[in-house]
Chain A
Amino acid sequence: MENVRRVLSVIVINEEAVLSRISGLFAGRGYNIDSLTVAPVPNTNFSRLTIVTSGNQRVLEQIVKQLHKLIPTYKVIESGEFVEKEMALVKIPLNEDFNGLDAMLKAYNGTIASSGETYIVVMVADDANRIDNFLKAIKKYNPLEMVRGGSVALDV
C-alpha cells in the first residue's frame, strides 16, 4: 500500500497533558507527524489540533481510530475537503536587490512583516505545497532564517 499525506483536525478537551497523549500515541505506535499545530477553540473548553501525517491506508485508519480512543478526544475530522493554510516567516538581509520581491510576496499572500536596519522579515500564508515553492524561490534573496508554522485547516 502506498503512503499518502493526510490532514487531520482533532478536537480535544483543552486539559493538561492532552498534547503529550497525542504526541505519545504517534511516537509509541511509530506514526509520522509532518506538522502539528494546536490552539484553543474560542469560547469552548476545547482545543483544535491540526495534524499533517502520512502513511498507507491501514495506518491512516488506525491513526484516526487510536486518536478517537483517547479519552479527551471529542472529534476527529478527516474530511477530504479542507481549506488548509500554512504560514512562513523569512528573514532577509537588507543590502540585497529586492527586485521582484513584492510580486513574489503578492503571489503567496505575503507581506513585509517587519523591517529593521539590517534585515526585513517577510511573511506568507498559503497552501503547504506552495509554501514549499515559496521557500525555494526566496532563496535568491539569500535568506538568513526561515520558519514555517505547520498547517492549519478547516473542513468545508
Chain B
Amino acid sequence: MELNGSQMVVEALAKENVSVVFGYPGGAIMNVYDEVYKQNHFQHILVKHEQAAIHAADGYARSSGEVGVAFVTSGPGFTNAVTGLATAYMDSIPMVVISGQVPITMIGTDAFQEIDAVGISRPCVKHNYLVKDAKDLPRILKEAFYIAKSGRPGPVHVDIPKDVTAQVAKFEYPDTIKMQTYKPTYKGNVRQIKKAIEAIASAKRPVLYIGGGAINSNASESVKEFAKITGIPAVETLMARGVMGDENPLLLGMLGMHGCYSANMAMSEADLMIAFGPRFDDRVTGKLSEFAKHAKIIHVDIDPSSIGKIVAIDYPIVGDLKNVVDSMIPLAKEKIDSTKYKSWRDLLNRYNEIHPLKYQDSNEILKPQWIIERVGELLDDKALISTDVGQHQMWAAQFYPFSFPRQWITSGGLGTMGFGLPAAIGVKKANPDKISINFTGDGSILMNIQELMTAIEYDLPVINIILNNKYLGMVRQWQTFFYDKRYSSTDINIQPDFVKLVESFGGVGYVVKTKDEFDSALQDAIKSNKVALINVEVDRLENVLPMVPAGGTLYNMMLEYKE
C-alpha cells in the first residue's frame, strides 16, 4: 500500500490502537492534521497550549497504563512541549510525541518556525527520531511505540519534516520489532534472586522500599502478596502511592522529605532494604552518608543504570519488577517466616503511634489537610487524584486514602507546576466512570488555567480544588524556616475572581470558607457534571510537616515548626 507520510502517521496510530491524541496544529504539521480530519480511528483533543497537550497525554498514560500520544507543530509548538516531555521522562511515562518540522530542504536555514527539535529533546526523552524519508516512517513509528512502553518506559519524540509528511512511499506496518541494539531485560537473574531471598531470611529488620517502578510494571498485586507472605513492613515513595493501598496494615506510609516518621525511621533502623523499583531520589534519601546506613540493600530495577547510581547496592537484580517479585514469591513462601519480624513491626507501629501524620484542625479557619481528608472520606476510591506541585501536592500525598495503583497522578521527578489540570483532563478521558479531581494551588492553577476551555469543550468534567493560601506556599514555607521570613516574591494575594473566571469559560465555580460550604460545593460540583473550580480559602501559614530539611537525615525530622 502506498501512502503519504501523514497517512502513515494516522495508519500507524490506528495499528497501535490509539484512541485519543492531544495536540495543537500549525504550519509544519498541517498535512498530518488534514489526515486527522479525514479519519475516524481516534479522537483529537485540541488543547489551548502545547505544554498541556503533553501533560494531558501524560495523565492519560499514567492513569491507563497505555501510551499517551500528542501532536505539536515545529518551532514554538515544539518548544512549548519540552516541559511536558521532561516531566514524563523524569517519571518514566510512556508517550509518543510527534512534532512537525520545516521541510528537509529548509532545515538549517533558520526558516520560519524552525528549531533543532531533536537537539533540544535529546536529554529529556528516552529516544528521538528525525525522519528523513517517508519509507522509514512505518519502522520508526513502530519502534517509537515499542521503546516508549518497553523496558523502563519513557517518552519518545518523532520529528517529521513537512515534505516527509507529503512524500509517498510504501506502507507496511511491521508486526514485530527487530532492533539490533535495544533489548531490555525482563527476567531477573535466578542466582541473584536466591541470594536476595537468603539475605531476607537472615535479616532481622527488613523493610520494603517501593518506588514508581511498581506502578509502571503493574506489580502492585505481586508486591502486596510478597509483603503479606513475608510480613515485611513497607514504605512508599511519592510515585508509588497507591501500590500497597493505605488500608494495608504492613504499609507505614510515604517516606522522604515529607514522609511519615515511622517510614523514615524504618529506613534508618533497617538492617535490610528491599528496594522494589525506586530510584533513591534526593527527596527520599536526605543526606546520603546517613541514609539507611545499617542496611544491606537489594535493588530490583529494569534499568541497570538506576542500580548503584546513588548508593552502593549489595544485591542488584536487573529485571521487570513484577516478573522478579513473582519469582521471589515461591522462594519466600519456602524460606521466610512471616512471624519473625513481629517485634520489628511492633516497634514501627509504636513509632507511628507516637508521631502519626497530624495537623491541628480548627473551627475558625479551614486547614488544607482537612480538605484532602474530607475529599477522601466522601470520594475515596471513586476518584482519581491529580495534583499540581507544592504544598497541596504533599498534603494530598500524605492525607488522601489511596487504595489502588494509578489512582495518584503527580509530577514527582521534575515537579512541574501547571501539570495538574491538563493531566486531570487526560485522566478523565481515560477513565470516564471515575471522578477526576485536581488538587491544586493558587500558584499552580494559573500556569495552565486556559485548559479549563479544553475540559469544557470536550465535556471532560474535571473538579479543580484550589487550596488557596494566597502564597506560593512551599517556597513561602522554606522562607519561613530557612530565610528568616523574607517572603521574596511569594505573596500572591492579588488574585482573579476564580468563580467568575471559571464561569466565563462555561464551568461552575465556588468560594469556600467553611467545612459546610466545602461539602456542599463538592457535592454540587459532582452533581452538576460540569468542569468545576472550588476555591478554598485555607490557613495562609500552614506548613507541610513533618519535614527533613534538604540534606538532612531521615531519622532527624522536623516534627513541628517552632517560632
> C-beta contact mask, B104-130 vs A, less than 8 Å → 1, else 0?
000000000000001100110011001
Interface residues of B in 387-411 (CB under 8 A from A): none
Q: Which residue of A lies closest to B307 (CB)?
A: A65
Secondary structure at chain A's binding surface: helix, strand, loop or mixed? helix
In this assembly, does A42 line the interface, its C-beta being within 8 Å of a C-beta of chain B? Answer: no
In this assembly, does B69 line the interface, its C-beta being within 8 Å of a C-beta of chain A? Answer: no
| A-chain residues with CB within 8 Å of residue B182 when the two chains form the complex | 71
| B-chain residues with CB within 8 Å of residue A72 when the two chains form the complex | 181
In this assembly, does B180 line the interface, its C-beta being within 8 Å of a C-beta of chain A? Answer: yes
Interface residues of B in 298-345 (CB under 8 A from A): 303-305, 308-309, 312
User: Are B304's CB and A62's CB within 8 A?
Assistant: no
User: Are A20's CB and B119's CB within 8 A?
Assistant: yes
| A-chain residues with CB within 8 Å of residue B304 when the two chains form the complex | 65, 68-69
User: Are A69's CB and B130's CB within 8 A?
Assistant: no
User: Are B305's CB and A65's CB within 8 A?
Assistant: yes
User: Are A69's CB and B147's CB within 8 A?
Assistant: no
| A-chain residues with CB within 8 Å of residue B122 when the two chains form the complex | 17, 20-21, 24
Interface size on A, residues (CB 8 A): 20
User: Are A13's CB and B180's CB within 8 A?
Assistant: yes
**Number of contact residues on B: which range applies?**
10 to 19
| A-chain residues with CB within 8 Å of residue B126 when the two chains form the complex | 71
User: Are B130's CB and A74's CB within 8 A?
Assistant: no
- A81 CA / B309 CA spacing, docked (Å): 26
> C-beta contact mask, B123-147 vs A, less than 8 Å → 1, else 0?
1001100101000000000000001
Residue of B118, B147, B305, B309 ringed by the most chain A CB atoms within 10 A: B305
User: Are B147's CB and A71's CB within 8 A?
Assistant: yes
- A58 CA / B126 CA spacing, docked (Å): 23
User: Are B119's CB and A62's CB within 8 A?
Assistant: no
User: Are A73's CB and B308's CB within 8 A?
Assistant: no
Question: B314 CB to closest chain A CB, in angstroms?
Answer: 15
User: Are A24's CB and B123's CB within 8 A?
Assistant: yes
| A-chain residues with CB within 8 Å of residue B179 when the two chains form the complex | 71
Question: A20 CB to closest chain B CB, in angstroms?
Answer: 7
| A-chain residues with CB within 8 Å of residue B180 when the two chains form the complex | 13, 45, 74
Question: A40 CB to closest chain B CB, in angstroms?
Answer: 15
In this assembly, does A80 line the interface, its C-beta being within 8 Å of a C-beta of chain B? Answer: no
User: Are A61's CB and B127's CB within 8 A?
Assistant: no
User: Are A71's CB and B127's CB within 8 A?
Assistant: yes
| B-chain residues with CB within 8 Å of residue A61 when the two chains form the complex | 308
In this assembly, does A16 line the interface, its C-beta being within 8 Å of a C-beta of chain B? Answer: yes
Interface residues of A in 1-46 (CB under 8 A from B): 12-13, 16-17, 20-21, 24, 28, 45
Residue of B118, B181, B304 ringed by the most chain A CB atoms within 10 A: B181
> C-beta contact mask, B171-185 vs A, less than 8 Å → 1, else 0?
000000001111000
- A17 CA / B119 CA spacing, docked (Å): 9
In this assembly, does A66 line the interface, its C-beta being within 8 Å of a C-beta of chain B? Answer: yes
- A21 CA / B132 CA spacing, docked (Å): 18
| B-chain residues with CB within 8 Å of residue A28 when the two chains form the complex | 123
Residue of A12, A62, A68, A69 ringed by the most chain B CB atoms within 10 A: A69
> C-beta contact mask, B434-471 vs A, less than 8 Å → 1, else 0?
00000000000000000000000000000000000000
- A59 CA / B118 CA spacing, docked (Å): 27
| B-chain residues with CB within 8 Å of residue A68 when the two chains form the complex | 304-305
Question: B95 CB to closest chain A CB, in angstroms?
Answer: 16
- A16 CA / B131 CA spacing, docked (Å): 10
Question: B94 CB to closest chain A CB, in angstroms?
Answer: 15
User: Are B118's CB and A17's CB within 8 A?
Assistant: yes
- A66 CA / B181 CA spacing, docked (Å): 14
User: Are B123's CB and A62's CB within 8 A?
Assistant: no
User: Are A17's CB and B308's CB within 8 A?
Assistant: no
| A-chain residues with CB within 8 Å of residue B123 when the two chains form the complex | 24, 28
B: which residues have CB within 8 A of A? 118-119, 122-123, 126-127, 130, 132, 147, 179-182, 303-305, 308-309, 312
5 other A-B residue contacts (CB within 8 Å) besides A17-B130, A58-B308, A68-B305:
A17-B122, A28-B123, A68-B304, A71-B127, A72-B181
Can you name 23 A-B pairs with beta carbons within 8 Å? A12-B181, A13-B180, A16-B130, A17-B118, A17-B130, A20-B119, A20-B122, A24-B122, A28-B123, A62-B309, A65-B304, A65-B305, A65-B308, A65-B309, A66-B305, A68-B305, A69-B303, A69-B304, A69-B305, A71-B126, A73-B181, A74-B180, A74-B181
